Amino acid sequence: MIKMIATDIDGTIFEWGKGFSPAVMDCMARLKKAGVKVVLVTGRMHRSALHAADELNLGTPVISYQGALIKDCDNKTLFQKTLPIDYAKNLIKWARENNVHINLYLDDNLFVEEDNEIIKFYTDGKHIPYTVCNFDDLEIKDVNKILAIDLKDADRVTGWVNELKKVYPDLYIVKSTPYFCEICSGEAKKSLGVQHLCNMWGFKKEEILTIGDQNNDIDLVQAGGIGVSMGNGTPELKACADYITDTVENDGFVKAVEKFVLIND
């Protein structure tokens, strides 16, 4: 019996530019009525993920920043791992030297050095305020995540991931979309966040359904007793999933839930 669903947001239950479909909203209400906990597990910053959790009326902790931060409904921090200060400063220097746009997340606040089309696209519809400033004017500490973005060249982003993994083998560096390179603490993984809540609630792996769509969801999908890839998932994610559902446009999340969880409701 599935007692908890751990789900990614973007590309899984949230369609970019459209938000949560009526079918997803209804499914969440049905799950809550059935007593199944739904936990959001995302690379998003906490305040953006919290807005999504509130919109869905989940009433459960939120796992954000690829698992680097977990907060409960009362805003109590249950788990947090930040980037080492020296690493964060070196990554800022790398971005400047290579003309890379980065989002810098300090204590759940978003900072950028240029107010450009990249940050406008990233924040559109996500309820994310941001501050434009020179990073040299900030105290670089409590860095939740650094996100490097190139909206036009996915191969360039792949190159960043490969390069930075060699330089920082103890960090968690992953492509979360074709155009996003996420850089977090090495102790930050979606699967570790799920395990933390399983331990807190006394749930077994076989009582968990996990679902996502990108390579940063691979360890998430593998953490569940039933691991589901969206139909729009990457080939790498589909290869390690137990089941491949429909796409986000066709409410694949809802179809997976009805197959494995809300079978007779």
Contacts of 47 (CB under 8 A, 6+ apart): 108, 127, 128
Query: Do residues 13 and 253 touch, judged by C-beta distance below 8 A?
Result: yes
Distance (Å, whole) CA 59 – CA 54: 7
Q: Please tell me the total number of residues recorded for the chain in this structure.
A: 265
Q: Could you tell me the two tokens for 126?
A: 């996500």
**The one catalytic residue among 8, 10, 150, 251:** 8
Phi then psi dihedrals of residue 31, to 5 deg: -65, -40
CB-side exposure of 14: number of CA atoms within 13 Å?
20
Q: Could you tell me the two tokens for 262?
A: 């809300």
Contacts of 167 (CB under 8 A, 6+ apart): none
Respond yes or no: is residue 8 known to be catalytic. Answer: yes
Distance of CA 255 to CAs 53, 167, 184, 265, Å?
20, 41, 32, 13
Torsion, Cα 15 51 127 46, to 10 degrees, reads -100
Report helix angle 22-33 to 252-260, nearest 10. 30
DSSP state of 136: G
3-state secondary structure (DSSP) of residue 260: helix
Q: Which residues are catalytic?
A: 8
